[in-house]
Amino acid sequence: MAEKFKNLINGIWKDSTSGNTFENRNPAKWKEDLIGIFPSSSKEDTDEAVAAAKAAFEKWRLIPAPKRGDILKLVGDKMNERKDEIAHEMTREMGKVFAETKGDVQEGIDTAYYAASEGRRLFGYNAPSELPDKMNLSFRTPIGVGGFITPWNFPMAIPTWKLFPALVCGNTCVFKPAELTPKTASTLVEIIDSSIKEILGKNYIPGVINIVHGKGRIVGEAMISNPDVDLISFTGSTEVGMRINQVAGGSLKRVSLELGGKNAQIVMNDANQELALDAVLWGAFGTTGQRCTATSRLILHKDIHDEFLNKLTDRVNKLKLGYGNDKDIDVGPCVSESQRESVDMYVKIGIKEDKAKLVCGGEFAKEDDLSKGWFYKPTIFSEVKPGMRIEQEEIFGPVLSVIKCNDLDDAIKILNDTKYGLSSSIFTNNVNNAFKAVRDIKAGITYINGATIGAEAHMPFGGVKQTGNGHREGGWTVYDFYTEWKAVYVDYSGKLQRAQIDNY
């Protein structure tokens, strides 16, 4: 019998009022491994969770921030203790290899400890008053109820990027995780709720963290249209992000969007080629290419193009596909059947419409046990030209487009010429090339001699153009999103002092 999971609303684990459920299955062994049954929740469940979060906010905002930080410290400790167990289960539900799911949990632990310490900072600033015997201060204050909608590719790290800073700042949370990775999300919420209980004891506040499983079309929609939700943080597709911005903007909610990417790695003729090869393999095929930061374009200088492509193809053909909890696996499956269909659709577009050259891969992987899951062979297209669909549209799978360039200016122009701007990378041993790239590449993240993936938890994370709406996650930058500023003027002169009038 598969385990049955519940929502957490107002401190109580309960089924959906709809009575509907959905299955969570292993993408590497689809038919044989049913992980759990989860509630497919209704608008009523979502509204109930928002009401609980709204009530909890009035108590939670009064808990001193360092105490809220202590809770996050305990959350980080618990995640650390359970790191391997959580990672194995995450590999089981979303497919990426165990080393990577451990990294995903570690990113959450880093974010927890960062948030814990921020509880003792949350700095505001003060400034001199223009009047005598008067003091000017400013404080960060919590906003209220946050709605959080997260994707399946980083089932632990991405929710922690949002929930942890939101909580330390004194906001309360309603969390709707991706339907493909509900188990990792449930574990995270159980850890947060039990840590609140342990630290607050008899003063435990139910409703600070709520999880409502189910469909974006129902739970997500209910969240973004509920007037009691004050802010929304979403990571996912540009299309859905635009819809959220429209609906949530209608009631002036604060909205943070982390959306698509079409990231490129440039390799110049003066680069360390072996290093650049390792990086592109990791950036393009790690996580089966299912990262917003994945390398989906490789821009090769014409002098090294042929040699580099040959070496890369050899290496790609040696990548070992399989279940990510088995030993020595390089690449797991696509997360779902429909995701694999979408990858295959783009490969067909690459061949038929774009007329690019298929160098390797380009089909489902079905040898032996691979036929049990949603495996796709790592794929390379060469002779890709700027403007082709496979060069412009986000594929979110193990497909790399190789483009030849003439020089640095040409490379940067090709790199910049998409509607997205998340991550980017250049391999060069010429310091002038490197600094020019840092200045001219239009992206939120640029790596010099590193792959496009692997951002660190304490650095600003996000992108330009249609990758987002200007906010950043990670580091202290995200604390601007989860707080409202309050300016406070203290007049101790004992008389009415009119600013801008009595002093000039």
Contacting ligand UN1 within 26-55 (CB under 6 A): none
Distance CA 354, CA 347 (A): 10
Q: Which two tokens stand for residue 102?
A: 């451990």
284 binding ligand UN1? (CB under 6 A): no
Give the interface segment with ligand UN1, choosing from 58-66, 203-211, 313-321, 449-457 (CB under 6 A). Answer: 449-457
Q: How far is the CB of 292 from ligand UN1 (least distance, A)?
A: 4
Q: How far is the CB of 99 from ligand UN1 (least distance, A)?
A: 14
**Closer by beta carbon to ligand UN1, 154 or else 427:** 154
Give yes or no: 169 in active site. no
Q: Which two tokens stand for residue 141?
A: 């204050």
Q: Which two tokens stand for residue 259?
A: 């959306």
Number of residues in contact with ligand UN1 under rule CB under 6 A: 10
420 binding ligand UN1? (CB under 6 A): no
Supply φ then ψ for residue 247, to 5 degrees.
Answer: -70, -50
Give yes or no: 198 in active site. no
Provide the terminal-to-terminal Cα distance of the chain, rounded to the nearest Å: 79
**40 contacts 213 by C-beta, under 8 angstroms:** yes
Supply φ then ψ for residue 426, to 5 degrees.
Answer: -135, 135
Among candidates 54, 19, 40, which has minimal Cα distance to 230?
A: 54
Q: How far is the CB of 417 from ligand UN1 (least distance, A)?
A: 22
**57 contacts 142 by C-beta, under 8 angstroms:** yes
Instruction: Give the residue closest to ligand UN1 by C-beta.
Output: 455
Q: How far is the CB of 42 from ligand UN1 (least distance, A)?
A: 28
CA 417 to chain centre: 23
396 binding ligand UN1? (CB under 6 A): no
* Residue type (1 letter), 319: L
Q: How far is the CB of 285 from ligand UN1 (least distance, A)?
A: 13
**Closer by beta carbon to ligand UN1, 119 or else 286:** 286
Give the interface segment with ligand UN1, choosing from 29-37, 187-195, 287-295, 424-432 (CB under 6 A). Answer: 287-295
Say which residue the tokens 């410290």 belong to: 73
**Closer by beta carbon to ligand UN1, 59 or else 458:** 458
Distance CA 7, CA 147 (A): 15
Q: How far is the CB of 53 from ligand UN1 (least distance, A)?
A: 25
**Closer by beta carbon to ligand UN1, 86 or else 218:** 86
454 binding ligand UN1? (CB under 6 A): yes
Q: Which segments of 185-340 are extended strands (E)?
A: 209-211, 231-235, 254-258, 263-267, 295-301
Contacting ligand UN1 within 104-143 (CB under 6 A): 107
Q: How far is the CB of 396 from ligand UN1 (least distance, A)?
A: 9
Say which residue the tokens 């049954």 belong to: 37
Alpha helices in 210-272 (DSSP H): 221-225, 238-249
Say which residue the tokens 């393009």 belong to: 284
291 binding ligand UN1? (CB under 6 A): yes
292 binding ligand UN1? (CB under 6 A): yes
137-175 burial string, b = 16+ CB within 10 Å, else e? eeebebbbbbbbbbbbbbbbbbbbbbbbbbbbbbbbbbb
Give the interface segment with ligand UN1, choosing from 58-66, 197-205, 289-297, 487-495 (CB under 6 A). Answer: 289-297
Distance CA 170, CA 88 (A): 32
Residues in a beta bridge with 357: 382
Contacting ligand UN1 within 70-109 (CB under 6 A): 107
455 binding ligand UN1? (CB under 6 A): yes
Contacting ligand UN1 within 138-167 (CB under 6 A): 153-154
Q: Which two tokens stand for residue 230?
A: 């004050």
Give the interface segment with ligand UN1, choosing from 125-133, 200-208, 450-458, 494-502 (CB under 6 A). Answer: 450-458
Q: How far is the CB of 460 from ligand UN1 (least distance, A)?
A: 12
**Closer by beta carbon to ligand UN1, 154 or else 164:** 154
Distance CA 353, CA 365 (A): 23
Catalytic residue among 292, 334, 394, 405: 292
Please give the positions annotated as active site. 258, 292
Q: Which residues bind ligand UN1 (CB under 6 A)?
A: 107, 153-154, 235, 291-293, 453-455
